[in-house]
Structure 1
């Protein structure tokens, strides 16, 4: 029997433990805490916590001894294997006074660790009747035996622990999704450039390691003729050894991934026959994840990540994240390979330059009532920004500014394609900004290879002194009224083009009369940063510069806006294409 005072003390401890566990959402901190509290609460010598992985098997990262020391590293159990496996299979607690007298007990763990199990309690961990693992305490101190009260305490603790683990897993999944989207955006924004493939590989590997919380890994490129992998970039392998390392398809971990074209998770390399135990380059940890780099069924290579900084094994959520990253990585590598093939010859680049020169109007349709100022600075020799002003009739003029995601040759090609599409629109479509952007989105959907387009389109009506316009994810232009000393962004918004089908774009009408100025721009100028990234030119500063240049002509104002941005961050080198189009009502 447990005396009331002891029982009260135990349940107070449980309340205290509950508040601590539910305040700690980091799974890597949470698991040792659960084992430590369960061991201390039940006055046991050791504890272990097994989690269910992918509804297939149970795994345990570490088990804690009497002084909190690790008595067992990564272990895997099948359903029905040993006491833990039986508890998971039957979803019922098991308590043993003498483990070695029970045929279900598996002594192999004791043999491996040197620990002697005497008595134990093991309970299942449930979240809304769904099994997520087991919690076990071993050997009550001073050769005592666990009783019914101990079982009740451990069941209560398991309920708290299961909820805390579920919350931690949910947070971990959300964090990984955010990291994945952030990383994919970085690939989209930065990876297509004139960097060499080796430089690009190093940058990409460093970003993947940072986001996966790992210290070493390798990106291999496939040589399908030789049926082998060679190293593009690596952390944990000396750079002067890259050329010496060739991995045949089907050999070792990376060779297996290349041959099967399947992602792979290994919890414990020592137990996996595919791991080369004689490799001169040893991993600090025993867990690894690897994914193939595939572009339209073509094997480009393999990415392998190991040495998780937390010291824990990788799990399927890590593998899912790497697999998703690998898909985008494949596009990036393929684009880079194609890009450098083209740049090396120089012919296609010159063609792209000629195409973009034809897209950009050399002369805008100036009238007695309209004048323009233009500054266009592609990041590389060609870019993804384009603009246009077209005379529709005596009183109406269409204006357009657009920006393809990314920059350089790939963006220029997509910009040229988009421009060709919209140039072939019927006249009645061009008279309605809403219909114009809706049609453009329909025609571009699924054709931009994962890129997207932002655009602002409007119709200036000189007779009505108005501008009818619609926006597709672009920065809204600034309008400065001739009678005002202020500039304000037009209140018109919409979704980006090319990614979501069947969108409708709202159009709005604004006053645009004598003396008014409209300033259209791409985000290359408002994202301009100093070389150390400590100083950034933004929309607010751009707006102030527009007001400051009110008395200047449209072209002089466009030139001064570029110079203001350069001077503010003390850098003449933009990180993206920059376009400014100013339209003045005289």
Structure 2
């Protein structure tokens, strides 16, 4: 047997280790495996692994492997350059020390915390291409030996395998959480439409969030802006009889801080955070925590906090981002669900309905360079099912929407509120494509509108390319008037009603939308208006002629003149349905 046999065995072990590590996509199982293999392969008493968090730039080590193979939870945090691991991450160089305590870079605080005594050590950076993602460290070679250059070589090889496995696991974890987030949001929307109470929604939501984040405890607080306190809507991990007794003033404790600052928060170890009240009468088991504010247009609706992972690991920034995304998007749903239930629980008072519609309709259309808007919105009996919106997507693109829920009055306005809730949850990519917009909307609303249906026109104006991309869901085709040519056309596309037929695909078209072009969108309350004995009706042809007549006026003036002409032609001022007219000028 030659002297190279031990080295050969090490590299054969590396090959086996590579297969095992890359087959494991669970990050919480992978990290202890990496430390176990590094400890055993290099005959060390202990090992630790730090990961670099890109968002805040710190190195985190929440677990280490002790001399008896036990997992030691550290929750250590280092700045790049701090301690041995910090120096290796910053300099991107391996290091080996015969006596750690003689090196000024060594930080004995971790030894003091864990009770472990470090003698010698070797530490290498974890690379993905040229980018450092963390460090891998082994401590105290067995039998009082020292680590040498061959150990560094083997540890570096192991670190290459480990880095790839960690990156794969992190990617898998990210995708998994994204799927879970979307599933949660979809299921929550279904419950909202099913008219569940806010308490039912809160309890369901908290259970699902804890399930998805694999955590033991959490709380959803509702804000009381008058008294500036948080009250518990749903909680897991504290006695049920205590829920109604707890009020958290803004600024006090973890949740109070999140409420006052309106910022998300990640804490690796609650015991080490000064905001955590260790003497509180009711408190969770001290461990890691994430918390996010529930905000609707900067209005604080509440706070959601989750703590204590079943795995014992600390929460990560990826967990916090998932909770923040859920909080941001579900705040809209909670706000509208609140308004929705206020209407349903107050004998359908018109005053409540008007407040709801006032909340969901823009009080004024946004200023967008290159575009000018004119608007007339006349709901039947003070509330209705017509609604509209203008959404600035980016520097060059803006979305326009006009929609009409079947029927009118309070019932239509309630359905319009639900639809608005669904639209608020759409991703940017969906909002940028009229076809995707209607496909997603139909999927979300199919068989949930209690006999109602929706017609709508949705377009995306690109002021950089002077184009309009649009799709129509059974709505009156808008009129496109080209002032430079003096021509009018109707933007007709094939499109079914929303909410009636499942799995629909909506066609998408693109047309030029040049300076001096005018787009006129309207609901059928305008073109179905008639005189008292129904012998005189204001038709689409009359509207098209009127658009040409008032083409020299501004968009706002033209919108007002078109409504006035309709009333004059029919000799009747009161409309029998909701009427919405929106004009968009390319200037």
TM-score band (shorter)? Answer: 0.5 to 0.7
The CA deviation at 1:89 is 1.4
Structure-2 change in CA distance of 1:334 and 1:384 (3 Å): closer
Which of 482, 486, 493 is the aligned partner of 2:505? 493
Looking at structure 2, the residues matched to 469 and 180 of structure 1 have their Cα atoms a distance apart, in angstroms, of 33
1:219 aligns with 2:231: no
TM-score norm. by structure 1 comes to: 0.64
Shift of 1:73: 2.3
Aligned match of 1:256: 257
**1:474–1:240 Cα change, 3 Å:** closer
**Structure 1 CA distance, aligned partners of 2:162 and 2:235?**
39
1:381: how far off? 7.8
Provide, for residues 448-496 of structure 1, a one-character-per-residue CA deviation record: whole Å limited to 9, x for no partner: xxxxxxxxxxx9xxxxxxxx9545887769xxxxxxxxxxx9xx8326x
Q: CA deviation at 1:340?
A: 2.2
Q: How far apart are the structure 1 equivalents of 2:331 and 2:324? A: 11
Q: 1:80 to 1:436 in 2, by over 3 A?
A: closer
Distance 1:473 1:140, change over 3 A: farther
For residues 32-47 of structure 1, the aligned pairs below 5 Å read 32-47=32-47
Deviation at 1:74, TM superposition (A): 1.5
| Corresponding position of 1:49 | 49
**What's the offset of the Cα at 1:37?**
0.1
Q: Structure 1 residues 438 and 420 mapped into 2: Cα distance closer, same or farther (>3 Å)? A: closer
Corresponding residue number in structure 1 for 2:509: 504
In the TM superposition, what is the alpha-carbon distance from 1:72 to its structure 2 partner?
4.4
What is the Cα deviation at residue 269 of structure 1?
Answer: 0.9
CA pair 3-250 structure 1, distance change in 2 beyond 3 A: same
**How far did 1:77 drift?**
1.2
Q: What is the rounded CA distance, in whole Å, between the counterparts of 2:497 and 2:193 in structure 1?
A: 24
Return 5+ residue gaps in structure 1 as ranges: 360-375, 386-401, 423-433, 444-458, 460-467, 478-488, 496-502, 506-586
Quick one: distance in 1 between partners of 2:446 and 2:87?
58
Q: Deviation per CA, 1:188-210, whole angstroms, max 9, x where unpaired? A: 22224432221221111111111
Distance 1:440 1:384, change over 3 A: farther
Distance in 2, matches of 1:108 and 1:102, equals 14
Alpha-carbon deviation of 1:328? Answer: 2.2
> 1:139 deviation in Å?
0.3
* Whole-angstrom distance in 2 between the partners of 1:420 and 1:319: 37
Q: CA deviation at 1:437?
A: 3.8
Q: What TM-score does the superposition give when structure 2 sets the normalisation length?
A: 0.64
Change (3 A) 1:201 1:32: same
Q: Distance in 1 between matches of 2:313 and 2:116?
A: 22
Question: What is the aligned-residue RMSD (CA, Å)?
Answer: 3.8
Q: Which runs of 5+ in 2 are unaligned?
A: 354-379, 386-405, 417-440, 459-469, 480-491, 511-587
Map 1:275-354 to 2 at 5 A.
275-284=276-285, 286-348=287-349
- Judged with a 3 Å threshold, the aligned counterparts in structure 2 of structure 1 residues 259 and 435 are, in CA distance, closer, same or farther, namely closer
> Deviations 1:112-159 (Å, cap 9, x if unpaired)?
222111110000001011110000000000111111111100000000
| 1:124–1:131 contact (8 Å) kept in structure 2 | yes
Note if contact 1:285-1:308 (Cα within 8 Å) is conserved in structure 2.
Answer: no
For the residue of structure 1 that corresponds to 2:127, the secondary structure is strand
Number of residues of Structure 1 aligned to a counterpart in Structure 2: 415
Aligned match of 1:96 = 97
For the 8 Å contact 1:438–1:504, the answer to whether it is kept is no
Q: Give the alignment of 1:86-485 within 5 angstroms.
A: 86-284=87-285, 286-348=287-349, 405-406=444-445, 418-419=454-455, 436-437=472-473, 470-471=495-496
The residue that corresponds to 2:19 in the other structure is 19
